[in-house]
Amino acid sequence: MNSAPLAFMDSGVGGLTILKPAMARLPSESTLFFGDEAHLPYGEKQPQQVIDYSLAIGRFFAARHAKMMIIACNTASALALPTLQTQLPFPVLGVVEPGSQTAVQASSNHKIGVIATRATVTSHAYRDAINQLDPVAEVVEVACPTFIPLVEKGQYSGQAVRDLIAAGLQPLQGSGIDTLVLGCTHFPIIQDLIQAELGPKVTLVDPGAATIEQATQWLTEHEQLAGNQTPYHDYYTSSDPAHFQRVGSEWLKRKVEAQLVTPNQLTQDDQ
Ligand code: DGL
């Protein structure tokens, strides 16, 4: 038994789409969540920058005695996972491998699409992880950076939004994929619009859900679950607590109070 918190990081509020199912699946676990809004979007940054930001957040969690870190960000998972796994004192899980596993299981025709940020697509982390599991799978990776501001601004409906989504998904039309990985934390929020555009025959995969299952399995096998306790949930943002609290309360359907930790404080805080 271990009552220490589970720690989640994202480049912004999008990772709350992973925290929410984690809270439902593991209701006794305390959690820490860091949204690095000062550095959003990670998807437009250089790989070393994403590694540095993610490592600073991991050290922040280590100073708060987290028992596990979940990188609730596809871009950071794609670029920083191996570094974090070697540099931090707790197990670190990313979303790419669990998402790829689910996609390979879901696909019948071995044609899998991935939509993600530019940085995730350029890294080919999903293609490589899928091909490790299924060497004959054809993986079509498409960067959809224009979808992220829609979600940040809460624009989930209307013809202009549908047109933008149709344009972003255009490279997938005619590709023959039967499965699509939502390889960005923001995309599960607009999955109905994505599904409507691609039609019911394409199975959408949310890597976050699969990652929570993997975390649950590890905690169970290693007897690290929290047991009966009243958990606490702490939220940190590097930029804008008011924005974080507004979006966080809406998505999580609970009161969210975020503390500001500036990038300077983050690097000085715990070393
Ligand atoms: N959280 C990022 C991801 O899942 C999307 C937003 C960003 O570019 O930082 O890839």
Kindly name the residue from 184, 198, 252, 266 that is annotated as catalytic: 184
Check: pTM over 0.85? Answer yes or no: yes
Q: Is 154 annotated as a binding residue?
A: no
User: Hey, whose CA ends up nearest to atom 2 of ligand 1?
Assistant: 73
Residues 122 and 196 in one domain: yes
Kindly name the residue from 50, 73, 247, 256 that is annotated as catalytic: 73
CB proximity list for 169: less than 8 A, separation 6 or greater: 115, 142, 144, 194, 197, 198
Residues 190 and 215 in one domain: no
Specify the pLDDT at position 271.
45
CATH of the domain at 224: 3.40.50.1860
Tens-place pLDDT, residues 61-72: 999 999 999 999
Helical H segments across 88-123, by residue range: 96-106, 118-123
The answer to the question of residue 1 being in a domain is: no
Where does a domain end: 165, 190, 207?
207
Residues 39 and 166 in one domain: no
Tens-place pLDDT, residues 32-78: 999 999 999 999 999 999 999 999 999 999 999 999 999 999 999 99
120 lines ligand 1 (CB under 6 A): yes
The answer to the question of residue 142 being in a domain is: yes
43 lines ligand 1 (CB under 6 A): yes
In ligand 1, which atom is closest to the CA atom of 39?
Answer: 9
Taking residues 254-258, report their average pLDDT.
95
The answer to the question of residue 13 being in a domain is: yes
- Give the confidence band of 269 by pLDDT, cuts at 50, 70, 90: low
Residue 144 annotated to the active site: no
Q: Is 110 annotated as a binding residue?
A: no
Residues 176 and 197 in one domain: yes
Tens-place pLDDT, residues 208-234: 999 999 999 999 999 999 988 999 999
Give the position of tokens 């987290």.
Answer: 66
Specify the pLDDT at position 152.
75
CA-closest candidate to residue 190, choices 211, 177, 204: 204
Residues 142 and 242 in one domain: no
The answer to the question of residue 10 being in a domain is: yes
In ligand 1, which atom is closest to the CA atom of 11?
Answer: 9
Residues 169 and 90 in one domain: no
Residues 120 and 198 in one domain: yes
Q: Of all helices (H) and strands (E), which one includes residue 181? A: strand 179-183
Residues 136 and 165 in one domain: yes
pLDDT above 90 as % of the chain: 89
Tens-place pLDDT, residues 123-153: 999 999 999 999 999 999 999 999 988 887 7
**What's the DSSP call for residue 236?**
E
Q: In whole angstroms, what is the distance from residue 75 CA to residue 95 CA?
A: 9
User: Hey, whose CA ends up nearest to atom 6 of ligand 1?
Assistant: 41
Where does a domain end: 160, 190, 207?
207
Domain with 175, as residue range(s), is 96-207
Question: How many domains are contained in the chain?
Answer: 2
CA-closest candidate to residue 194, choices 241, 161, 218: 161
Where does a domain end: 174, 207, 240?
207
Residues 251 and 125 in one domain: no
Residues 101 and 149 in one domain: yes
Residues 199 and 112 in one domain: yes
Residues 66 and 189 in one domain: no
